[in-house]
Homo-oligomer: A and B are copies of this chain.
Amino acid sequence: MYYIGIDVGGTGIKGGLVDEGGQILCRAEAKTLGTRPAEEIAADIVRLIKGVIKAGGVEENAIHSIGIGIPGACSEEEGKVIYTANMNFSGFPLRAFIQKEIKKEVHLANDANCAALGEYFALDTRPQNMVLITLGTGIGGGLVLGGHLYTGGNGIAGEVGHILLCPGGEVCGCGRRGCWEAYASVRALIRQTRAHAEAHPESALAKECGADFSALSGKTAITLWKEGDEGATEVVTKWMEYVAHGLVDMIHIFQPEVLLIGGAISREGEVLLSPIRRMAERDTIKIPVPKTEIRAARLGNDAGLIGAAFLGRQ
């Protein structure tokens, strides 16, 4: 059987035909243009679905189901989008709309949750419980518990970026102060790098940032840290501690067999993961039971699409 996954993002909608092994056999894409009427966005989704079926050259009866990842909250029961930010999609009966044109099972879920499911199916050995933390501009999360995607009572569980790390601390994108995301995201690393450069204008790190910080990115401090630069080491070590703090929380709460780190950071691989893992192990409660394995996620940007495709496969 084949599965169709749709990953609705802020700028683009990606569609793919996925096989049992999690390979994307063909792809199609459209612009989101989120301020359009919901019917237009949904019509593009239908077009993408039909497009990948045709391009894949498979019979419609070889399609098991369709899954759609939404950047917001969905009701799987009602087949509705409940809420999306910056998009005219809230309240839209997406399943019914699609099923008018294509007679298939249609599943809806939050995009971060889809990513977790995609990564879960990509594991060589699938444990009962897996937590995915996506460390990018922000911090997202997805939970596979007891072998199933866990979405809570309202479809938006797993907002782990907004657990509180420092009450009254740095302002977070969500408006509150002190969230984990405000300390351990890539955006936070950039802010921490800039603060260090401003405080030490003669440092190699400041020079690397450029006079007007135009060369500053999430990689600036990491690159210099790998070269052994002192200022960068201070910045990156502190930031890795913040990352580890949240991972330890995830372990204390879920004790999953596997904790996956995805997002931009996972591309650095073991060079970052290995010190973060040591910090997390240092702080995890000392009970002689099997430990959570902290690993890099594998699927990168395709996780959401593949996971959406597999929503009907759980």
| Chain B neighbourhood of A153, CB < 8 A | 127-129, 255-257, 290, 292
Which of B83, B245, B254 contacts A167, CB < 8 Å? B245
Sorting the interface of chain A by its residue count into under 10, 10 to 19, 20 to 34 or 35 or more gives 35 or more
Stoichiometry, copies per complex? 2
Could you tell me the dominant secondary structure of chain A's interface residues? loop
In whole angstroms, how far apart are the Cα atoms of A73 and B249 in the complex? 18
- In chain A, positions 126-143 with a C-beta closer than 8 Å to chain B are 127-129, 141
A165 touches B164 (CB 8 A): yes
Partner-B contacts on A (CB < 8 A): 72-73, 82-83, 90, 127-129, 141, 145-146, 148, 150-160, 162-167, 174, 176, 241-242, 245-246, 248-249, 252-257, 283, 285, 287-292
Residue of B nearest to A287 (CB): B83
Known: A159-B252, A165-B167. 12 other contacts (CB 8 A): A129-B153, A146-B146, A153-B290, A154-B255, A155-B255, A156-B287, A156-B289, A158-B253, A159-B285, A162-B252, A166-B167, A167-B245
* A290/B254 contact (C-beta < 8 A), A167-B245, A245-B167, A248-B164 known: no
Residue of B nearest to A129 (CB): B153
| Chain B neighbourhood of A158, CB < 8 A | 253
Q: What are 26 A-to-B residue pairs whose CB atoms are below 8 Å? A: A72-B287, A73-B287, A73-B289, A82-B289, A90-B288, A127-B153, A129-B152, A141-B253, A145-B150, A152-B254, A152-B256, A154-B289, A155-B255, A156-B255, A156-B285, A157-B255, A159-B285, A160-B252, A162-B252, A162-B285, A163-B253, A164-B246, A165-B167, A166-B166, A167-B241, A253-B253
